Structure 1
Amino acid sequence: MAFEYAGAGALDYYPCRYGKSKLLFRGPRRSLNGSYVAAIGGSETYGKFVSEPWPALLEQRMGLPVVNFGYMNAGIDVFMNEPQVTQATDAAQFSVIQLTGAQNMSNRFYAVHPRRNDRFLRASKLMRSIFRDIDFTEFNFTRHMLTTLKVHEPAKFAALSEELRQAWMQRMQALLERVAGRKVLLWLGEYRDPDHCDPLGAEPFLITRAMIDALRPMVDEVVRVDPSVTARSSGTTGMHFGQMEEPSALMMPGPMVHAEIAEALAPVARRML
């Protein structure tokens, strides 16, 4: 049996489910009756290690419930495989959809876990035929695998990157078609301190401006948030985590980043309402 011991400094995320969903989202649980806004995204929307993630801060600014459908390490596949989330947008005033990277989703080269999208399951025959010298049994996570491929097979990695971009575009367009009503895309730029940047590149990984521009006709607004130097360099200030969790906390946006996201979304949200 596996379990986590978060330690005395950890937060209570009040995990909750909505409807028949198998996913545990961050609480406290909000009612899906009446007026609300849906916040859909990955770890940055969930807000691990932060007492008030941007959906909670936006809720305070709007005076209207914001349902946090953020899910840790989620790629597009989580929400494509969970109809309860897209169904919840039917009654939402509007939905904010965080753009997630292209690494955590199944594609022609490899498969990921349908709910834990950062978990690498298996390489396809195509993947193994291209990267013949790589032992894929060594990998449990997509980021570790892709970092290794980028270092050891840069030319072949470029072809894989193009495949991931194409798959992401198709999947993202399909997701936007499923999300009902008005939609806002949240494009969060690099939020890590330069000393802790990911070797794969800035988040959302592999996503370009041209790709996002191609999605603009499908949404009402695109909000780009580039965290300030002060927010990026704040480290773990104001974050809550257990003794062994500091390395993970350094890779997540802190309270100042969440505040800047909410501040950027607030005027758009008021216009939408």
Structure 2
Amino acid sequence: MRQDTVGRGALDYRQCNYGLSRLAFRGPRHPLAGRYAAFVGGTETFGKFMQEPLPAIAERLSGVSCANFGCVNAGIGAFADDAAVLAACHDAVLTVIEVTGAHNISNRFYKVHPRRNDRFLKATPLLREIYDEVDFADFTFTRHLLSVLCHISPTRFRLVRRELRRVWLDRMRDFIAELPAPPVLLWYRDTTDVGGAGPDPLLVTDALMAEIAPLAAGIVRVDVTDRARADGQFRMVFGPAERAAAAEMLGPAIHETAARALVPILAQAALRGRPAA
């Protein structure tokens, strides 16, 4: 079951903050001056177990400065409420948003931790009414919760799934509405079901992406295959206790594919400069 944390491992992520943000980002802190692109996302953008995270790869290949606003376990809701991230995106020539799952966002059924969005805090009275046989004190992580709820009653789970997708769309729209220009969406489209709740990004479907697509400048879709995932594993950096967690990450090969697809988009954005406010 995929539950990401950043602890004492083989890599020093040099975590940092920007402005008054309480979110912890991959360091070192990037200078937010000149023509730069802002990469906003979750664990994959952060680059857990990767010596060179996606924004750094994209910067190396394109020559365009790329700031990493990836935050471990973050859902889109974490950024939609963060003034420092929004300010950085406002001054960027381009914002690239990693499409994250719909499960790590507070909604009508449950609340998540404001910074560690994969942490389940509490069920609302509505969820307790629908699943009155469940002891919600048993859950710490949102993915585990959803896996169990789906197993108990796929029929009742449809209500939860519908709500999570609705909130995901609303929060994506909220965030994009704050940007001075349409962003590029980076969609790692996986087909591997991790933990029984579905593939990543969790609960995000082709139909859901079609709904949000008109608000974006474009969608870079990277199909995650087992072979591509395996090809990158040997270049990941992790300690013995982190091996299982590292096996569930996408790895350098997939991130390099994404970075190459972004190179012409970044180059064009850098030539164009900052969008008018």
Cα distance in structure 2, aligned partners of 1:239 and 1:161: 33
Q: Is the 8 A contact 1:90 1:179 kept in 2?
A: yes
Superposition map of 1:68-83 within 5 A? 68-83=68-83
Q: Match of 2:245, as an amino acid?
A: S
Correspondent of 1:267 among 264, 269, 272: 264
Cα distance in structure 2, aligned partners of 1:127 and 1:57: 42
Q: C-alpha offsets along residues 185-241 of structure 1, whole Å, 9 cap, x if unaligned?
A: 1111117xx5x7442111111112222122222121111111344312336311111
Cα distance in structure 2, aligned partners of 1:132 and 1:179: 41
**2:88 alignment counterpart:** 88
Q: Match of 1:272, as an amino acid?
A: A
**1:142 alignment counterpart:** 142
**2:274 alignment counterpart:** none
**1:184 alignment counterpart:** 184
Q: How many residues are treated as equivalent by the alignment?
A: 266
Cα distance in structure 2, aligned partners of 1:202 and 1:47: 19
Cα distance in structure 2, aligned partners of 1:21 and 1:207: 27
**1:214 alignment counterpart:** 211
Q: Is the 8 A contact 1:36 1:64 kept in 2?
A: yes
Report the TM-score when normalising by structure 2: 0.91
Cα distance in structure 1, aligned partners of 2:212 and 2:7: 41
Root-mean-square deviation (CA), in Å?
1.8
Cα distance in structure 1, aligned partners of 2:266 and 2:6: 37
Deviation at 1:182, TM superposition (A): 4.0
1:15 aligns with 2:15: yes
Q: Match of 1:224, as an amino acid?
A: R
Q: Is the 8 A contact 2:220 2:258 kept in 1?
A: no
**Which secondary structure state, in structure 1, belongs to the residue aligned with residue 173 of structure 2?**
helix
**2:37 alignment counterpart:** 37
Q: C-alpha offsets along residues 82-132 of structure 1, whole Å, 9 cap, x if unaligned?
A: 111011111101100011110001000000011110000000000000001
Cα distance in structure 1, aligned partners of 2:260 and 2:63: 14
Q: Is the 8 A contact 1:184 1:222 kept in 2?
A: yes
Cα distance in structure 1, aligned partners of 2:91 and 2:149: 43
Distance 1:182 1:272, change over 3 A: farther
Cα distance in structure 2, aligned partners of 1:57 and 1:95: 16
Q: Match of 2:211, as an amino acid?
A: A
Q: Match of 2:47, as an amino acid?
A: G
Deviation at 1:248, TM superposition (A): 0.9
Deviation at 1:58, TM superposition (A): 0.3
Q: Is the 8 A contact 2:222 2:257 kept in 1?
A: yes
**2:241 alignment counterpart:** 244
**Which secondary structure state, in structure 1, belongs to the residue aligned with residue 170 of structure 2?**
helix
**Which secondary structure state, in structure 2, belongs to the residue aligned with residue 90 of structure 1?**
helix
Correspondent of 1:6 among 8, 11, 18: 8
Deviation at 1:5, TM superposition (A): 5.7
**Which secondary structure state, in structure 1, belongs to the residue aligned with residue 143 of structure 2?**
helix
Distance 1:13 1:123, change over 3 A: same
Cα distance in structure 2, aligned partners of 1:175 and 1:5: 29
Deviation at 1:267, TM superposition (A): 2.3
Q: C-alpha offsets along residues 19-52 of structure 1, whole Å, 9 cap, x if unaligned?
A: 1211221012111121110000000100100111
**Which secondary structure state, in structure 2, belongs to the residue aligned with residue 234 of structure 1?**
helix
Cα distance in structure 1, aligned partners of 2:94 and 2:50: 24
Identity over the aligned pairs, expressed in percent?
43
Q: Tell which deviates more after alignment, 207-216 or 110-119.
A: 207-216
**Which secondary structure state, in structure 1, belongs to the residue aligned with residue 73 of structure 2?**
coil
**2:54 alignment counterpart:** 54
